[in-house]
A and B are shown apart, each in its own frame.
Chain A
Amino acid sequence: MILVWLIAILLIGGTLCWLLAQWNKVFPKWIALCATVAGLVLMVWLCLQYKNSGDGAGSEWFINYRLSWIPAFGISFHLALDGLSLVLLLLTFFLGILSVLCSWNEIKEKHGFYFFNLLWTLAGICGVFVAMDLFLFYFFWEVMLVPMYFLISIWGDTNRRYASYKFFLFTQAGGLLMLLSILALYFIHAQQTGIYSFDYFDLLHTSPGASTAKWIMMGFLFAFMVKLPVVPFHSWLPDAHSEAPTAGSLILAGLLLKTGAYGIIRFVLTLFPQQAQAFGWWAMLLGAIGILYGAFLAFAQTDLKRLIAYTSVSHMGFVLLGIFAFNEIAMQGVIMQILTHGISTGALFVMAGMLKERLHTRDINQMGGLWTAMPFMGGAAMLFTMASLGLPMLGNFIAEFLILIGAFSASAALTVLATLGLIFSACYALRMMQKVFLGPATVTAPLKDMNVREWVMMSALTIGIIVLGLFPQPVIDMVKGVVGALVD
Chain B
Amino acid sequence: MNELQFEALLPFIVLAAASMAVILLIAFRMSHTVIQVAAFLMACLVIFAMWYVKDTLPQSVPPLFVVDGFGALFTGMIIFSMMAVGLFSYIYFEEREENPKEYYILLFLATLGAATLTISTHFISLFIGLEVLSVSLYALIAYLRNRNNAVESGMKYLVLAAVSSAFLLFGMALIYMETGSMEFERIAQSIKESSSSVLFSMGFGIMVVAIGFKLALVPFHLWAADVYQGAPSPVTAFIATVSKIGVFAVLLRFAQSVNLPQYPLVISIFSVIAMASMIVGNLLALRQQNIKRLMGYSSIAHFGYLLVAFLPGNAAGVEAAAFYLLAYSITLLAVFGVISVLSTRMKDAEDLVIYKGLFHKQPILTAVLSICFLSLAGIPLTAGFIAKFFILASGVQQNLWLPVLVLVITSVIGLYYYLRVISTLFAASSSTGTTAKTLHPFFYISTYIALIVMMLLLFWLGIFPGRAVEGIREFLLIR
Interface on A for B, CB 8 Å cutoff?
A: 69-73, 135, 138-139, 142-143, 145-146, 149-150, 153-154, 161, 164-165, 168-169, 172-173, 176-177, 179-180, 183-184, 186-187
- Contact assessment for B416 and A165 in the assembled complex, using a CB-CB cutoff below 8 Å: yes
Considering the complex, give the chain B residue whose CB is closest to the CB of A72. B469
Considering the complex, give the chain B residue whose CB is closest to the CB of A181. B396
Interface residues of B in 386-439 (CB under 8 A from A): 389, 392-393, 396-397, 404-405, 408-409, 411-412, 415-416, 419-420, 423, 426
- Contact assessment for B408 and A142 in the assembled complex, using a CB-CB cutoff below 8 Å: no
Instruction: Return chain B residues, CB-CB under 8 Å to A73.
Output: 393, 469
Considering the complex, give the chain B residue whose CB is closest to the CB of A160. B423
Instruction: Return chain A residues, CB-CB under 8 Å to B423.
Output: 153, 161, 164-165
Q: How far is the CA of A71 from the CA of B396 in the complex (A)?
A: 19
Grouping DSSP codes into helix (H, G, I), strand (E, B) and loop, the A interface class, with mixed when no group exceeds half, is: helix
Query: Does B91 make an interface contact (CB < 8 A)?
Result: no
- Contact assessment for A172 and B412 in the assembled complex, using a CB-CB cutoff below 8 Å: yes
- Contact assessment for B408 and A177 in the assembled complex, using a CB-CB cutoff below 8 Å: yes
- Contact assessment for A173 and B412 in the assembled complex, using a CB-CB cutoff below 8 Å: yes
- Contact assessment for A169 and B380 in the assembled complex, using a CB-CB cutoff below 8 Å: no
- Contact assessment for A72 and B389 in the assembled complex, using a CB-CB cutoff below 8 Å: no
- Contact assessment for A169 and B416 in the assembled complex, using a CB-CB cutoff below 8 Å: yes
- Contact assessment for B396 and A187 in the assembled complex, using a CB-CB cutoff below 8 Å: yes
- Contact assessment for B389 and A179 in the assembled complex, using a CB-CB cutoff below 8 Å: yes
Query: Does B104 make an interface contact (CB < 8 A)?
Result: no
Q: How far is the CA of A25 from the CA of B397 in the complex (A)?
A: 51
Q: How far is the CA of A187 from the CA of B392 in the complex (A)?
A: 12
- Contact assessment for B426 and A142 in the assembled complex, using a CB-CB cutoff below 8 Å: no
- Contact assessment for A146 and B379 in the assembled complex, using a CB-CB cutoff below 8 Å: yes
Give, as a whole number of angstroms, the nearest-CB distance from A242 to chain B: 18
Tell which of A142, A150, A173, A183 touches B380, judged by Cβ atoms closer than 8 Å. A142
The 19 listed contacts between A and B (C-beta, < 8 Å) are A72-B466, A72-B470, A73-B469, A139-B381, A143-B381, A145-B379, A146-B381, A153-B426, A154-B426, A165-B416, A168-B419, A169-B412, A176-B412, A177-B408, A179-B392, A183-B392, A183-B396, A187-B393, A187-B397
A-B pairs with beta carbons under 8 A, tally:
67
- Contact assessment for B396 and A70 in the assembled complex, using a CB-CB cutoff below 8 Å: no
- Contact assessment for A142 and B419 in the assembled complex, using a CB-CB cutoff below 8 Å: no
Q: How far is the CA of A187 from the CA of B470 in the complex (A)?
A: 20
- Contact assessment for A180 and B396 in the assembled complex, using a CB-CB cutoff below 8 Å: yes
State whether A70 and B466 are in contact (beta carbons under 8 Å apart), knowing that A169-B416, A187-B397 are contacts in the complex.
yes
Tell which of B397, B415, B465 touches A168, judged by Cβ atoms closer than 8 Å. B415
Instruction: Return chain B residues, CB-CB under 8 Å to A176.
Output: 408, 411-412
Instruction: Return chain A residues, CB-CB under 8 Å to B419.
Output: 149, 164-165, 168-169
How many chain B residues sit at the interface, stated as a range, is 20 to 34
- Contact assessment for B469 and A143 in the assembled complex, using a CB-CB cutoff below 8 Å: no
Instruction: Return chain A residues, CB-CB under 8 Å to B411.
Output: 176
Tell which of A69, A149, A183 touches B466, judged by Cβ atoms closer than 8 Å. A69
Considering the complex, give the chain A residue whose CB is closest to the CB of B319. A72
Interface residues of B in 323-374 (CB under 8 A from A): 374
Q: How far is the CA of A179 from the CA of B420 in the complex (A)?
A: 24
Instruction: Return chain B residues, CB-CB under 8 Å to A150.
Output: 426
Q: How far is the CA of A187 from the CA of B393 in the complex (A)?
A: 9
Query: Does B93 make an interface contact (CB < 8 A)?
Result: no
Considering the complex, give the chain A residue whose CB is closest to the CB of B470. A72
Give, as a whole number of angstroms, the nearest-CB distance from A213 to chain B: 15
Q: How far is the CA of A188 from the CA of B107 in the complex (A)?
A: 48
Tell which of A161, A164, A180 touches B405, judged by Cβ atoms closer than 8 Å. A180
Give, as a whole number of angstroms, the nearest-CB distance from B369 to chain A: 14
Considering the complex, give the chain A residue whose CB is closest to the CB of B465. A70
Q: How far is the CA of A150 from the CA of B373 in the complex (A)?
A: 14
- Contact assessment for A138 and B392 in the assembled complex, using a CB-CB cutoff below 8 Å: no
Instruction: Return chain A residues, CB-CB under 8 Å to B381.
Output: 139, 143, 146
- Contact assessment for A184 and B412 in the assembled complex, using a CB-CB cutoff below 8 Å: no
Give, as a whole number of angstroms, the nearest-CB distance from A212 to chain B: 11
Instruction: Return chain A residues, CB-CB under 8 Å to B409.
Output: 173
Give, as a whole number of angstroms, the nearest-CB distance from B453 to chain A: 19
Other than the known A153-B426, A161-B423, what 10 A-B pairs have Cβ atoms closer than 8 Å? A70-B466, A139-B380, A142-B385, A143-B380, A165-B420, A165-B423, A168-B415, A169-B412, A176-B411, A183-B393
Interface residues of B in 421-479 (CB under 8 A from A): 423, 426, 464-466, 469-470, 473
Instruction: Return chain B residues, CB-CB under 8 Å to A135.
Output: 389
Q: How far is the CA of A407 from the CA of B404 in the complex (A)?
A: 38
Considering the complex, give the chain B residue whose CB is closest to the CB of A75. B466
Instruction: Return chain A residues, CB-CB under 8 Å to B464.
Output: 70
State whether A180 and B393 are in contact (beta carbons under 8 Å apart), knowing that A138-B380, A172-B415 are contacts in the complex.
no
- Contact assessment for A70 and B469 in the assembled complex, using a CB-CB cutoff below 8 Å: yes
Q: How far is the CA of A193 from the CA of B464 in the complex (A)?
A: 27
Q: How far is the CA of A161 from the CA of B425 in the complex (A)?
A: 12
6 tightest A-B contacts by CB? A142-B380, A183-B396, A176-B408, A173-B412, A70-B466, A139-B380
- Contact assessment for B392 and A180 in the assembled complex, using a CB-CB cutoff below 8 Å: yes
Q: How far is the CA of A292 from the CA of B420 in the complex (A)?
A: 35
Instruction: Return chain A residues, CB-CB under 8 Å to B469.
Output: 70, 72-73
Give the interface centre of B392, B412, B426 by most chain A CB atoms within 10 Å: B412
Give, as a whole number of angstroms, the nearest-CB distance from B302 to chain A: 16
Q: How far is the CA of A282 from the CA of B455 in the complex (A)?
A: 47
Q: How far is the CA of A288 from the CA of B236 in the complex (A)?
A: 55
